Amino acid sequence: MVRPKQSEQHPDLETAIKETARKQIGEKGAASLSLRAIARALEITAPAIYNYFPNRDALVTALIVDAYLSLAESQRTALVPLPQDDHPLRLRTLGLAYRQWALSHPGEYNLILGTPIPGYHAPMEITGPAAGQSMYALIQTIDVAYRANKLTVTELSPALLNMVTPWIEKFDYDGHPCVIHFALASWAQIHGLVSLELFGHYSAVEDEDAADAFFLAEINATIERIGIRK
């Protein structure tokens, strides 16, 4: 029997490679990612993969960019039906959407925000812009509240200002530095909660509703702490 051409087996081979890689990461972890194993799973030759990804790191970088963009899209989509002037609701919704994306994409979440892959160093000129997009909705939401005078701001200490300045420059942000501070603090809180849950640190809690309630309570506490209001 004549073996089908690779273009007939996989009309969109690049997508098939990525999907197989994500499956492999989900089953065995990112550190075990292997181009040869992907080739075997797709029943293609390893050189066929090299036409798209010259090495493992190039594939990992592409997967990281895709994951960040997927997270960013989930954040943007979550805000679409919400009223523009309900700032606490919009911030709360972003937190819930972040958690839902992570729980629905655990392998991709771990790839971008979990355990680093030994020997891999992300090229920031490629992954940085995508990572920035995943933060943009959060910064914009807090900034809109600030410009509507619905956010309590104070002057930052020199140390905190040094912390947020690189982010201000990265996003070319021209508002109050507190907005970036609050965005980073909110992200850190949400990320910590999601990571504890996703990596099994709530194993003693068998009630899913309890985990939902705990997450929501902490998101509400963050909203109250930063002083964002309707």
Confidence at residue 28, expressed as pLDDT on a 0 to 100 scale:
87
DSSP codes joined into one string, 118-153: TT----HHHHHHHHHHHHHHHHHHHHHHHHTT-B--
127-143 pLDDT, tens per residue?
Answer: 999 999 999 999 999 99
Work out the percent of the chain whose per-residue pLDDT is above 90: 80
Picking from 215, 227, 127, the residue whose alpha carbon sits closest to that of residue 176 is 227
> Domains of the chain (ranges plus CATH)?
9-54 (1.10.10), 69-226 (1.10.357.10)
Q: Residue range 156-181: average pLDDT?
A: 96
Q: Exposure of 131 by Cβ count < 10 A (0-12 exposed, 13-18 middle, 19+ buried)?
A: buried
CB environment 26-56: b (16+ within 10 A), e (fewer): eeeebeebebeebbebbebeeebbeeebeeb
- Could you tell me the two tokens for 167? 């982010």
Work out the percent of the chain whose per-residue pLDDT is above 70: 96
Q: pTM for the full model?
A: 0.90
Contacts 24+ apart (CB under 8 A), 72-75: 72/130, 72/133, 72/134, 72/136, 72/137, 74/98, 74/100, 74/101, 75/101, 75/134, 75/136, 75/137, 75/138
52 within 8 A of 13, measured Cβ to Cβ: yes
87 within 8 A of 141, measured Cβ to Cβ: yes
Q: If you ran DSSP here, which 8-state letter would residue 116 be given? A: P
97 within 8 A of 74, measured Cβ to Cβ: yes
pLDDT band at 3 (very low <50, low <70, confident <90, very high): very low
102-128 pLDDT, tens per residue?
Answer: 999 999 999 999 888 888 999 999 999
pLDDT over 60 at 86, yes or no: yes
Tell me what the pLDDT averaged over the chain comes to. Answer: 92
Q: Exposure of 143 by Cβ count < 10 A (0-12 exposed, 13-18 middle, 19+ buried)?
A: buried
The contacts of residue 5 (CB under 8 Å, 6+ apart) are none
Please report, for residues 94, 110, 127, the alpha-carbon distance to residue 163 in angstroms, rounded to integers and kept in the order given: 23, 25, 21
7-23 pLDDT, tens per residue?
Answer: 456 678 999 999 999 99
Coil/strand/helix, residue 228: strand
Confidence at residue 115, expressed as pLDDT on a 0 to 100 scale:
83
Q: Residue range 55-78: average pLDDT?
A: 97
